Amino acid sequence: MLTRREALLGSVLTAAAVATIGSGPVMAAAKDVTGLPREKVTLVAPPFVHAHDQVAKGGPKVVEFTMTIEEKPLVIDADGTQLNAMTYNGSIPGPLMVVHEGDYLELTLINPDSNTLAHNIDFHAATGGLGGGALTLINPGEQVTLRFKATRSGTFVYHCAPGGAMIPWHVVSGMSGAVMVLPRDALKDDKGKPVRYERIYYVGENDFYIPRDEQGKFKQYDSAGDNYDDTAKVMRGLIPTHVVFNGKAGSLTGENAMKAKVGETVLIVHSQANRDTRPHLIGGHGDFVWEGGKFANPPAKDMETWFIRGGSAGAALYTFRQPGVYAYINHNLIEAVELGATAHFTVDGTWDDDLMMQVEAPKAIAS
Amino acid sequence: MSFDPVFTFGTIAAAALIGLGVSNAIDGTSSWSRAPAAVAELVTLKPGSFEHPQPGEFLRDNHPVPAPVTKETIDTPLEIMKFQVTASDYDRCVSDGVCKPAGSSIVGNVPATGVSFLDAQAYANWLSAKTDDTWRLPTDVEWAYAAGERFRADIEGGDGDPANPARRWLTQYRNESALGRKADPEPRPAGAFGTNSKGVADIAGNVWEWTSTCYGHVTMTSDGVARSLSNCGVHVVEGFHRTYMSNFIRDGKSGGCAVGTPPDNLGFRLIHEHGGFVQAALRRLGLT
């Protein structure tokens, strides 16, 4: 069993090795950035997204975010199964950060001394320095500020990558989120025509690997470090015990179901930092889907199910046309129903008989 | 729903020790094969009538409507187990090689959970044979009668709107969400959820109970004529709310409730068919 202290030490040593691969502090562009306007954004917990402009106003700016890392136990299913979670800003997934292409994203990452492990952040949207991982490794009690230029538009994963075996363990403990870099002149459909959304939801999908005891019951550990050895064994089997949206089976159902109205256009950003998935909206479609998540590519149209590669985020735009309760799932139905990857939308509005109607209700078979 | 208060205090919380377990205690032997030790505390409910929302799905003029409420009558005293069948009770049937081990590994004086309709039936048949008496699952009506003020029935979506079927789905979904019931999966010791006004324990706790009533579609015409088609591969399950489960399902979480809160656990209690045997047992115990 790895102690807390050993886990901490181990991650620091590995990360130090990684840091030597990375470059030194970035200075070259600093003078160009000093004169830019700055905007400070307060992040909100998923599935919600902080207020943002769909079309950029003015020129590039520096958008400032702050995230505090929290290590804490979280319940991940209805049975009370506990994950020794590691989180960006307290939520799984971490919050979605929205900027425009050409903007600078400046993140202050805080690792309070109440935590026990070293952490960092690797932005798939960033260029160089292991996505920022090489420049952001912080021990409990430290903070760091990283700035990167958003050179490509799209939805991109960020995740913790503190070196070696720590990388997958931190990610499957909850440390991932996404960045959305919008084109300055808004999203465009397949013909290059601008499209807008009235609502946006961010769904982060996680695969968890909780060890079981001899009776087959999920085990509980005092701290993250205590579970490392057992968890690593389950991870190597590659079969998750849980596949969930937003940190917990049922986190986006009931009172927390996502909401929309008939006629509203919704953008659903879906990330999976570790494992492939295939979102599907039961009874709906993806009108325009950026499967790979990169907005410079024309979106696919009329998708039934879309593929999100492990380690990426995608986006689907849909205008609801019929009221009702919709399930939004990972269409590996075993993962959706048995392992937890199900969310709901409740959609109010007028029913369209032209799109669907029950011509005849169930009755005995006519003889 | 209304229950005649006469019956709420008229129940007899009779501790009826059933089977040869009584003489067992006297002669000091403990061999189950010689002496069935099935001990079930029963509650006797006096006959009476009550208003009951029917189970199943109901259509009128091709549109879903709330379950009609009918007057039901229990015309002879009804003896029902005060507690759900416990894990230790159920284990005796397993030890006898008749029942399949339950899906839950919890043992002792807690409700047997992780049991399907088929398991419950096997237990009832085994207990009947052991005690030379009749034990069976309650019908939905009998269960509701015993549940008294704790009976909820289906979570309703109200009248179907012919112009907008989604309205009923949304209403039902929101009604269920508004109940705010959180998952509560760990079975508690028998009696932990208290007794209702009829003296029946643990109704609508965190163990839902199998009934012998089949799921059905009922089509009604405007003149009230109903035609029903039942599917006995699916049975009515009662508890915090009413739901419907396939006979082989042992874990309610994966067995039904397409949207909304599934049962935390599946268990059961049984009806004892009256045959003069209880009085004999009571006399032997000096309780009469």
Identity of the residue in A78, A323, A360 whose CB atom sits nearest the CB atom of B164? A323
B219 part of contact set with chain A, CB < 8 Å: yes
| Structure-model confidence comparison of residues B77 and B33, the more confident one | B77
Domain A4-184: which CATH number of 2.60.40.420, 2.60.40.10, 3.40.980.10, 2.70.50.60: 2.60.40.420
Domain A201-218+240-348 indexed as CATH 1.10.443.10: no
Domain count, chain B: 1
Identify whether the C-beta of residue B209 lies closer than 8 Å to the C-beta of residue B238.
Answer: yes
What confidence tens digit (pLDDT) does each residue in B66-116 have? 999 999 999 999 999 999 999 999 999 999 999 999 998 888 999 999 999
Residue B33 CB-density burial (10 A; 0-12 exposed, 13-18 middle, 19+ buried): exposed
Whichever domain contains B235, its CATH number is 3.90.1580
Distance CA A6, CA A2 (A): 6
The answer to whether the Cβ–Cβ distance between A322 and B166 falls below 8 Å is yes
- Tell whether the model's pLDDT for residue A227 goes beyond 90: yes
- Tell whether the model's pLDDT for residue B197 goes beyond 50: yes
- Tell whether the model's pLDDT for residue A9 goes beyond 50: no
Distance CA A147, CA A128 (A): 12
Question: What is the reported pLDDT for B180?
Answer: 86
What confidence tens digit (pLDDT) does each residue in A268-301 have? 999 999 999 999 999 999 999 999 999 999 999 9
Q: Which residue has the tokens 């029913």?
A: A351
Identify whether the C-beta of residue A103 lies closer than 8 Å to the C-beta of residue A53.
Answer: no
Contacts of A323 in chain B (CB under 8 A): 164, 166-167, 170
Query: What would the mean pLDDT of B123-141 be, rounded to a whole number?
Result: 95
Q: What percent of chain A has pLDDT over 70?
A: 92
Identify whether the C-beta of residue A341 lies closer than 8 Å to the C-beta of residue A245.
Answer: yes
B225 part of contact set with chain A, CB < 8 Å: no
The answer to whether the Cβ–Cβ distance between A257 and B260 falls below 8 Å is no
What confidence tens digit (pLDDT) does each residue in A101-127 have? 999 999 999 999 999 999 999 999 999
The ipTM assigned to this model is 0.85
3-state class (DSSP) for residue A339: coil
Cis upstream peptide for A299 (omega within 30°): no
**Which residues neighbour A367 within 8 Å (Cβ) at sequence distance 6 or greater?**
none
- Tell whether the model's pLDDT for residue A2 goes beyond 80: no
Domain with CATH 2.60.40.420 in chain A: 4-184, 201-218+240-348
Q: Poorest-confidence range of A166-180, A302-316, B20-34?
A: B20-34
Task: Return the closest-CA partner of residue A185 out of A99, A56, A58.
Answer: A56
What confidence tens digit (pLDDT) does each residue in B223-274 have? 877 888 899 999 999 999 999 999 999 998 764 444 557 899 999 999 998 5
pTM summary value = 0.85
Which range marks the domain in which residue B182 is found? Answer: 5-285
3-state class (DSSP) for residue A225: helix
Which residues of A are catalytic, by number? 119, 122, 124, 159-160, 170, 175, 280, 304-305, 331
Binned at pLDDT 50, 70 and 90, residue B123 comes out as very high
Identity of the amino acid at A57: K
